[in-house]
Structure 1
């Protein structure tokens, strides 16, 4: 998954402002206690990050 696609999916699911704030501030234990932005910088695949976000916020399977 491309990062641009990932960012669009985040914005579509959570709204642009909340998605940006979440990516910058919310720490996910499943991403090694990193934020989305930190995980992307560390080279974690966007698809893996999207799964972690979906699991943490209980995104329904049809929107994953």
Structure 2
């Protein structure tokens, strides 16, 4: 996942305004209590941050792969 895809997935799931709030304020336990923005700035894997954000925000698993993107093969 590229950073631009992460940003688009956040905007698709939460809306552009609330998406900025979620990535900047929601603490991700999986990343030592950092927010998504802090984890990305620290160089963490973008897809890992996206999946942690989905889990923390109770996004249904069916929407973890972004709007309009095919789900990966199992």
Q: What TM-score, normalized to structure 2?
A: 0.80
Q: Decide which moves more: 4-13 or 28-37.
A: 28-37
Match of 1:27 in 2: 27
Higher relative contact order at CA 8 Å, sep ≥6: structure 1 or structure 2? 2
| Higher fraction of strand | 2
- Whether 1:8 and 2:8 are equivalent positions in the alignment is yes
Once residues 5 and 22 of structure 1 are traced to their aligned partners in structure 2, the CA distance between those partners, rounded to angstroms, is 16
| Backbone CA RMSD of aligned residues | 0.9
Segments of 4+ in structure 1 off by > 6 A?
Answer: none
3-state SS of 1:23 partner: helix
3-state SS of 1:59 partner: coil
Q: How does 1:41-56 map to 2 (within 5 A)?
A: 41-56=41-56
- In structure 2, stretches of 5+ residues that fail to align are 65-74
- In structure 1, stretches of 5+ residues that fail to align are none
Structure index of larger Rg:
2
